[in-house]
């Protein structure tokens, strides 16, 4: 057991579990990034509900949401870290794991602060339906991300996380990776989006996605309908072109936007201490 508040010890243990030779492309990193994003992406600015406090996916109403299918793998990967550092809240562990995974996979350093609290029951969970639907277009993307308080630029920057990982037919119904090396954080996703000839394909399960065959990967790479909506919408496309050209600009903008995402629903005082613990019914873990 580490000293309470020793987040460096937690970070080191997260980093050391990323290598998972038996799992997907050999890394737990991508699914950890997705867990972090889905833990925060329920935020609704208008009602100040949802967000990265609470770790609501521990409860069936949120964890069993089809939009969160597959994220139990990420939670299971992190369980030994929670056992070793019982003082860390799940809400902190999940967000920190995303930040550590991005860095370890060659991405930018993202600033992160602890202090999130865990719900003690399932009475304050955000309703289902707040996460994006990949079969939709630009209007839907804006409706989802404006609700959280993001701009078009931030939406495109965050979408660059699809440099990582893959779609699984038994989770989302979509299938395949976006890039040839899906455990390396880069701006390849934007480059491929702009330069490849994406063809629509209907999978055996009836789901529609976009593909092209990549010789180097030896497999079909893919784009979701929402990914390609970033090309057809001029305001989104402006940022796709910038991020495809300039990796450093993408890394800096991604780091800022991901930090903002991880802070959704969290209010801090001047010293950085989380003050809005009152939304956690029945008190919170100290």
Candidates 14, 17, 28, 33; binder of ligand HEM (CB under 6 A) is 33
Stretch that binds ligand HEM, among 13-21, 88-96, 166-174, 209-217 (CB under 6 A): 166-174
Spell out the residues 6+ positions from residue 35 whose beta carbon is closer than 8 angstroms to its own: 57, 71, 74, 75, 94, 97, 98
Q: Does 209 bind ligand HEM (CB under 6 A)?
A: no
Closest approach, Cβ 34 to ligand HEM, in A, equals 4
CB closer to ligand HEM out of 264 and 280: 264
Candidates 106, 114, 132, 149; binder of ligand HEM (CB under 6 A) is 132
Q: Does 70 bind ligand HEM (CB under 6 A)?
A: yes
Closest approach, Cβ 281 to ligand HEM, in A, equals 28
Stretch that binds ligand HEM, among 48-56, 120-128, 158-166, 276-284 (CB under 6 A): 158-166
Closest approach, Cβ 115 to ligand HEM, in A, equals 21
Sign, CA dihedral 220-226-230-236, equals negative
Q: Does 172 bind ligand HEM (CB under 6 A)?
A: yes
Biggest CA–CA distance in the chain, Å, is: 56
N-terminal to C-terminal alpha carbon distance within the chain: 16
Spell out the residues 6+ positions from residue 241 whose beta carbon is closer than 8 angstroms to its own: 190, 194
Closest approach, Cβ 171 to ligand HEM, in A, equals 4
Site string (111-130) toward ligand HEM, x via CB under 6 A: --------------------
Query: Which pairs count as long-range contacts for 277-283, CB under 8 Å and 24+ apart, including other chains?
Result: 277/53, 277/117, 279/49, 279/53, 279/54, 279/124, 280/53, 280/54, 280/117, 280/118, 280/119, 280/120, 280/124, 281/119, 281/120, 281/121, 281/123, 281/124, 282/120, 282/121, 283/120
Candidates 110, 134, 156, 192; binder of ligand HEM (CB under 6 A) is 134
Closest approach, Cβ 156 to ligand HEM, in A, equals 10
Q: Are 24 and 5 in contact (CB under 8 A)?
A: no
- The total of other beta-carbon atoms located within 10 Å of residue 66's CB is 10
Total number of residues that touch ligand HEM (CB under 6 A): 24
Residues near ligand HEM (CB under 6 A): 30-31, 33-34, 37, 70, 132, 134, 141, 158-159, 161-162, 164-168, 171-172, 174, 224, 226, 258
């Amino acid at each position: 057991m580490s000293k309470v508040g020793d987040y460096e010890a937690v970070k080191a243990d997260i980093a050391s579990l990323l290598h998972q030779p038996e799992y997907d492309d050999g890394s737990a990193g991508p699914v950890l990034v997705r867990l972090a994003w889905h833990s925060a992406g329920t935020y609704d600015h208008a009602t100040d509900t949802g967000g990265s406090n609470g770790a609501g996916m521990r409860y069936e109403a949120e964890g069993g949401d089809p939009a969160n299918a597959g994220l139990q793998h990420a939670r299971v990967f992190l369980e030994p870290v929670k056992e070793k550092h019982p003082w860390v809240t799940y809400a902190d562990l999940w967000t920190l794991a995303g930040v550590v995974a991005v860095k370890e996979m060659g991405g930018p350093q993202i600033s992160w602060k602890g202090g999130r609290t865990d719900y003690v029951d399932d009475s304050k969970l955000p309703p289902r339906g707040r996460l994006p639907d990949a079969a939709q277009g630009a209007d839907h993307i804006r409706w989802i991300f404006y609700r959280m308080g993001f701009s078009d630029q931030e939406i495109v920057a965050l979408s660059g996380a699809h440099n990582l990982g893959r779609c699984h037919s038994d989770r989302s119904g979509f299938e395949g990776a976006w890039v040839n090396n899906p455990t390396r954080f880069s701006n390849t996703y934007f480059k491929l989006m702009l330069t490849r000839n994406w063809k629509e394909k209907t999978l055996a399960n009836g789901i529609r996605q976009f593909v092209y065959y990549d010789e180097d990967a030896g497999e079909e790479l893919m784009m979701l309908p929402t990914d390609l909506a970033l090309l057809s919408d001029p305001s989104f496309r402006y940022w796709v072109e910038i991020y495809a050209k300039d990796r450093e600009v993408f890394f800096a903008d991604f780091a800022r936007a991901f930090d903002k995402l991880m802070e959704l629903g969290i209010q801090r005082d001047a010293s950085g201490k989380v003050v809005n613990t009152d939304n956690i019914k029945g008190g919170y873990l100290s």
